[in-house]
Amino acid sequence: MKFTAGQIAELLNGKVEGNKDAIVTNVSKIEDGKPDTLTFLANPKYTQYIYTTQADVVIVDHAFTPEHPINATLIRVSNAYEALAKLMEMYEQSQPKKNGIEQPSFVDKTATLGDFVYVGAFAYVGENVKIGNNTQIYPQVFLGDNVTVGDNTIIYPGVKIYKHCKIGNNCILHAGAVIGSDGFGFAPDENNNFKKIAQIGNVVIEDHVEIGANTTVDRATMGSTLIKRGVKLDNLIQIAHNVEVGENTVMAAQSGIAGSTKIGKNCMLGGQCAIAGHLVIGDQTKVGAQAGIIKSTKDNGPALLGSPAFDISKFNRCYVIFKRLPELSAQLDSINKEIKNLKQ
């Protein structure tokens, strides 16, 4: 990577303030900026560092107004964070990609592979598997029988995709993800022993979905567990059988969604959320970290927090009270004693 500020500004449709010939060879965080690097300022909490950073070029919003002199060259854009993401994506796409089938690996003779596919060593590609063009299957990946993987998808080492599951185009599945394992379905018999219910459905992951490391998506009991277009799941998430996650919903690490719940589109779930089964979560629902959802929500409802979760504005008012419960309890004890003394 070696670019001038002028070249970067042209790629981002930005405007240079300073030395357009400043050269950068890498990127860095603004608080740890180093010479010959590019950084960005998007969060106002980091504004102080723009005056001391050693980075040579900083991407900022058009609206940014400096309060002190800045040594670095600025590139002004409409959205600094999006601009940096675009630049890094362009750089990533410019890197050479592997292709071909490494050995030892197993690719069943009935499998169909598109053009420029890479299959890493020790991967297993089962019967009737279909892999699209430009897709990368890294070492130790397991693709069960009748799995379909679309174009331009990346499946990182150790991912396991069980039989009949479908993965769309331009998806990324990170290391250790398990797609299509059995749903948690058991029924007690007359002796109160739990008998397994066969899970005969599959998982369907639509286009432009990213699944984090060690996240699990269970296959449906019947039908499909569905992860819709544009969903982003963090690491260590559990999606149970027959769940549907709506378009462009994002979910942070260690969240868990119980069976048959339907989550709407454009929702945002913080880390360690828990959502009970058989609920409907409305579009654009926002849930704070560690919240527990036990009833369905409406579209465009208030942000939720707490367990059980409720309106975050009410939660904040309640928090002012319950964090003072020890002293309130002491005051109540004191009042009770005074009343008792008065009665005597």
Q: Which residues contact 281 (CB under 8 A, 6 or more apart)?
A: 261, 262, 263, 264, 267, 275, 293, 296, 297
Q: Which residues contact 338 (CB under 8 A, 6 or more apart)?
A: none
CA atoms within 13 A on the CB side of 98: 14
Q: How far apart are CA 329 and CA 334, in angstroms?
A: 9
Q: Which helix (H) or strand (E) holds 324?
A: none
Task: Say if CB 220 and CB 202 are below 8 A apart.
Answer: yes
For residue 302, give both structure tokens.
């208030």
For residue 326, give both structure tokens.
């020890």
Catalytic residue among 68, 164, 241, 278: 241
The alpha carbons of the chain give a radius of gyration, in whole angstroms, of 26
Classify residue 89 by burial, with Cβ atoms within 10 Å: 0-12, 13-18, 19+.
exposed
Residue 221: strand, helix, or coil = coil
Measured in whole angstroms, how far is the alpha carbon of residue 214 from the centre of its chain?
Answer: 12
278 assigned to active site: no
Q: How far apart are CA 221 and CA 215, in angstroms?
A: 19
Q: How far apart are CA 73 and CA 28, in angstroms?
A: 15
**In 243-266, which positions are buried (b, 16+ CB within 10 angstroms) versus exposed (e)?**
bbbbbbbbbbbbbbbbbbbbbbbb
For residue 36, give both structure tokens.
């010959």
Residue 229: strand, helix, or coil = coil
Nearest-5° angle of CA 189, CA 191, CA 194?
Answer: 45
Q: How far apart are CA 14 and CA 291, in angstroms?
A: 40
Active site residues: 241
